[in-house]
Every structure is written in structure tokens, then in C-alpha cells.
Amino acid sequence: QVTSFQGIAVRSLCSSSPHEHPEHGRLVYKGNLAKAVLGVKFFSYSTSIFNLFMMPYIMLKTGIGFDSVVLEAAFYGVIGFFTFVTPVTLHVLTKGYVVRLYYKDDIDTYTAITYNVILAEKATVFHQKDVKIPDITKMFTTFYAKTKSMLVNPSLFLNIQDYNHLMGYDKSLYFKLEEEKEAEEKK
């Protein structure tokens, strides 16, 4: 693949298409809120860290004092609560948001890329048979990969057949009945 850059021919070192990743497989899904999730979490973390370092300074410089130790402890407790609860809540709500989803056809495995606590990308590898759809629709869960909840937007899949295969909708009803029958026989 050769592209031109200001009259100079530049050869690309990438041999695969932009929708393929050599380690994870073919890109089947790309979340459109990835940058927003990363930005909001980064902003929340940075304001909490700023608050953590600036509150003692502000308290010393303003001379805010309390007559009661209980009132002072309650005040610092409220400040600390909001300093730590906001980033933790954001992480809990967004930890299952799938940034990218790759699929390897030959071994029928998916690799979901999510953000971890320190805002680094985390890869979760699972098989289609590990996918469980919750019986009751949950707010931040589309499916479970093994035991981890994952959130995807079905309309953002590059090919709807990939979504159907992920969720197991491409299996026939007869096949599902056979699986249930085998499960009951094992009991």
C-alpha cells in the first residue's frame, strides 16, 4: 500500500486493513462513545485529585473552623464522599462499555476492548458460547461474556450478521431446544 505525502512516496508498514487487528481478528463493532467515556472519566479523576490536594490548602488559608469535632468530621466526610464516589460511580457504570469488538472466525472467539480503572484499554477474550443474554433488560448490560457485563449498541455493528452471531440469534430454535433438553438430562 503506497500513499503520497507532499510528493514523497511513503510505503505503509501495515499489511492488514484498518478493520483487522493481527492479534484480535476482524473488527466487527466500534463504540461511538469511547472518547466521551474516556474524557468524562479523565475529567472526573482529575477534579477528584485536584480536590484532594487543594482542600487542605483551602481550609488552612481560609481559616474555616468548626466549634464541634463532629461537625468538622461531617464536613470533611461530605467533601471526601463526593471526591471518591463520583469517579467510582462513573467507573462502575462505564466499565462494561465496549470500545471495540473483534472477531476471529477460525476459532470463533471475540475480543472486547474496554477501559479499566486507570483508563487503559483492557482486552477480554470470550467464545460465543460464553455469551449469556440477561432475562430482564438491564440498564448498562446488553450481554454477559462469561460473568462480565458488556454494553454494545446493536446499530453500530459493521454487519448485522456479526451481532446476530454474537448474541446467538443465528442458531435455530431446534438447536436451542436440544441444548435445553441436554441440560435437563444432566440434572
Residues 6+ apart with CB under 8 A from 140: 93, 94, 96, 97, 149, 151
Q: What is the model's pTM?
A: 0.74
Whole-number CA gyration radius for the chain: 24
pLDDT, tens digit (0-9, with 9 covering 90-100), for 3-40: 433 444 443 344 444 466 678 889 999 999 999 999 99
Angstrom distance (rounded) from CA 152 to CA 52: 34
Nearest to 110 by CA among 96, 122, 127, 95: 127
User: Higher model confidence: residue 42 or residue 9?
Assistant: 42
pLDDT, tens digit (0-9, with 9 covering 90-100), for 119-128: 999 999 999 9
Residue 167 contacts residue 143 (beta carbons within 8 Å): yes
